[in-house]
Amino acid sequence: MGRVEAVGKMIGELTSTLADEPLLGIAIVVALLAVLGGAALLVRLLGRSTGEQFARLLGSHGAVAVLMHPNPDPDAMACALAVEEIAASRETDATLYYPGQIRHHENRALQAVLDVDFERIETVEDIDEEAVVLVDHNRPRDFHGANAVTPLAVVDHHPGDGTGSQFTDVRPDNGSCASILSEYIEDLGWEPEASAAEDDEKRLSSATATALIYGIQADTNRLTKGCSVDDFHAASFLYPGIDQDKLDRIANPDMDPETLDVKARAITGRDVRSAFAVSNVGAVSNTDSIPQAADELRRLEGVNAVVVFGDKEGTIRLAGRSNDDRVHMGNVLETVLEDIPMADGGGHARMGGGQCSVEHMAGLGPGEGLSTDELRERLFAAMNGEL
């Protein structure tokens, strides 16, 4: 007999014995649960897993807005699709929103190959629903009125203190947010499409399974960096339901000429000191080429941590990658940008990003400002632990 079944039997016997003393019986049951497993065991016995709690919350609303972060990546898009599918199972309408643009060639491929619709927003007024669910980020940002949004729920794997008014699940140890949503689906007793009976209502669609497994792969560099046991488990759970052909088309789309050019500029213009590299790629029209250039530069022999930055329409965008245990890339970018007004930087130990206004970086009022050369020096100092 398993642990949960044994405890359930004990609770049943206690409840029967103390039928005439219900309050005392409840007190003993609660005390027993606290001793033998606490809140997690109580949730399992009551059938209220995290996924079930999330699904019930979605089902309590007629419609929800699912908000991705600016310029959403495959992880964010996959999570939005999973929330939409969970909401539909509870007869709740879901609309998937994002600010910014979908520009990265793999991001565009996911949207096209899976034939999914996302709504682009510029202001908070573009969101019709009152209930808002954030996926793959924990604070609304980069659209007019973002600060006015109070999320109903937040599901994320990035560090941060953003919370939902009724539900918050932020797991920085996970390599992807898609593995969290995959856990919810498994909690609900669903099966990926290929392994479920045709008449089974608890079937995860092939499109969503394919998106989720690619979201995991994209955020963990094909399960080689920054991943956790949860990411491996989710990939194993999802695998029977994926469409192999569509997954290959998403993962290996044609690359646009600018991305190739930015990668080349990052490599030829690199400044390497010890095991660290920084490269300024100058003006770009596609900001998603910057993290791709960082991935490429990181592959150079002898380089363990890199930061690539470029300028798009007056905003400096930074992308960092690290395989060096001494360099927490999220902390590096946060430290470098924290003194620049309205700048933002952060991320995980292995991967980080940031942005700042060229105008603010140049200095406002009595401030002396910061040149791109000085920014380069600050990046090296931070990676060396000198900042």
pLDDT tens digits, one per residue of 261-296 = 999 999 999 999 999 999 999 999 988 899 999 999
244 with 290, same domain: the answer is: no
Mean pLDDT of the chain: 87
Each residue of 88-144: pLDDT tens digit? 999 999 999 999 988 778 899 999 999 999 999 999 999 999 999 999 999 999 899
96 with 239, same domain: the answer is: yes
160 with 266, same domain: the answer is: no
Supply the CATH number for residue 95's domain. 3.90.1640.10
pLDDT confidence of residue 30 = 46
149 with 234, same domain: the answer is: yes
89 with 183, same domain: the answer is: yes
Q: Of residues 66 and 195, which shows the higher confidence score?
A: 66
26 with 67, same domain: the answer is: no
pLDDT confidence of residue 177 = 98
Rounded to whole angstroms, how far apart are CA atoms 142 and 158? 17
Each residue of 20-33: pLDDT tens digit? 555 554 455 445 44
Q: In what order do the strands lie in the sheet with 315-322?
A: 271-273, 276-283, 305-312, 315-322, 351-357, 344-347
225 with 285, same domain: the answer is: no
Average pLDDT over residues 4-16: 45
pTM of the model: 0.69
Q: Provide the phi-psi class of 47: left if phi over 0, else alpha when psi is between -120 and 50, else beta.
A: left
Count up the domains in the chain and report the number. Answer: 3
279 with 330, same domain: the answer is: yes
376 with 272, same domain: the answer is: yes
Rounded to whole angstroms, how far apart are CA atoms 298 and 306? 6
pLDDT band at 15 (very low <50, low <70, confident <90, very high): very low
Q: Are strands 132-135 and 63-67 parallel, antiparallel or unpaired?
A: parallel
